[in-house]
Amino acid sequence: MKNGLTKIRFLVVWLFLLTISLALPAQDLSHNGPIRRTVWTMLLSPKYLTMIILGLVALILLKKGLMKGGLKAVMLFLAIFFFGVAANLPIPFFSKYAMHPSPICAVAKAILYGFGTPMIATALVILLLSLIGPRLFCGWVCPVGALQELVFMLRSQLKLPQLRIPYRLSNRVRTSIMLIFIFFSTTAIIYTLLDNGEKIGVSLYDYFNAFHGFEWLGLTGILPLLPLLISVIVGLFVYRPYCHLICPIGLLTHWLEPLALFRINLKKECCNNCQTCITASPCQATAEIVKGSIIRPDCFACGDCLKCCHSDSFEVTCR
Ligand code: SF4
Ligand code: SF4
């Protein structure tokens, strides 16, 4: 019964997403020519297709218990390469992989300036992968998340201590930032003046958008690099600090976690309650999975709990 209800809920979310995206009109993307693209033609472009494929491959590897060691590092490198590095290379094909709009801009700037086609396409891919789950976009596609995950893997090799920020605190911090952003956006307290004197609201997240750290060619100074740089340094001690404390996508995809079709679950009959997973996992979600809680702290589908359990108690299952 519970399973049936979950599937109906999932179907309703999907039908809603399909309806809004099909209802969206095509939009002019060029000032020089009639380049008109719908959300669907954008979703079939190399960048978005690569995102979807990477997310689905990650899901298969997680389900088969293969997401560990070298293969995990390769998957993370691919996400960093395609969506962080590639657009900076002097190869025209890779310019199509530029993270414009960044996931944060796709949400924040859409609230300020309206939902343009590229923003909707980016938001839809994030939604799509997060609804298939578990956290497939944040875990395996986002370059900022992938870089923090790699740095955290390095921490284990360097045997550095891990600082665990309580979930309640980190969730309150990123929720507060989101609320302040909404307040500033609706009141346009932070704005810029155009040449014609018009006031345009500015997103609070623009001041600490870690995705700008990958835009080497467009850099005007060290400031845009800082959020990513600080996240990498802090990430040597804290698991995914940017995702847990700041990123609005981290908050939104966390809300979507209970809706995802696939999730990390515990095979109760295999678990001998040794608690190895709770100390070996980087997150605070594992303890709640063991307890059987429906609402859990963030799980980024890193696969560590699947790997560390000696009795293979964790699995990625369709609920
Ligand atoms: S929370 Fe933000 S920075 Fe972290 S992986 Fe998700 S989109 Fe990327
Ligand atoms: S170790 Fe934590 S973050 Fe990683 S897959 Fe397991 S529950 Fe999710």
Q: Whose CA is nearest to atom 3 of ligand 2?
A: 299
97 half-sphere exposure, CB direction, 13 A CA radius = 25
Which ligand 2 atom lies nearest to the CA of residue 286?
7
Nearest ligand atom owner, CA of 129? 1
Which residues contact residue 267 at a Cβ distance below 8 angstroms, ignoring those fewer than 6 apart? 312, 313, 314, 315
Q: Using a 6 Å CB cutoff, which residues line ligand 1?
A: 103, 138, 142, 144-145, 242-243, 247, 249-250
- DSSP-assigned letter for residue 270: T
From 140, 284, 286, the mutation candidate for ligand 2 (largest count of ligand atoms within 8 A of CB) is: 286
From 54, 138, 240, the mutation candidate for ligand 1 (largest count of ligand atoms within 8 A of CB) is: 138
- pLDDT at residue 318, rounded to an integer: 84
* Gap from CA of 67 to ligand 1 centroid (Å): 19
| Contact indicator for 300, 135 with CB cutoff of 8 Å | yes
Phi and psi, residue 201, nearest 5°: -65, 145
User: Taking each helix axis from N to C terminus, what angle separates 117-132 and 248-256, rounded to the nearest 10 degrees?
Assistant: 40
Bridge partners (DSSP) of residue 182 are none
Cβ atoms within 10 Å, residue 124: 21
* Gap from CA of 304 to ligand 2 centroid (Å): 6
Supply angle C-alpha 220, 113, 186, rounded to 5.
105
Q: Using a 6 Å CB cutoff, which residues line ligand 2?
A: 264, 281, 283, 285-286, 289, 299-305
In the predicted model, residues of the chain with pLDDT beneath 70 are 1-37, 217-220, 319
pTM of the model: 0.89
Nearest ligand atom owner, CA of 255? 1
* Gap from CA of 137 to ligand 2 centroid (Å): 14
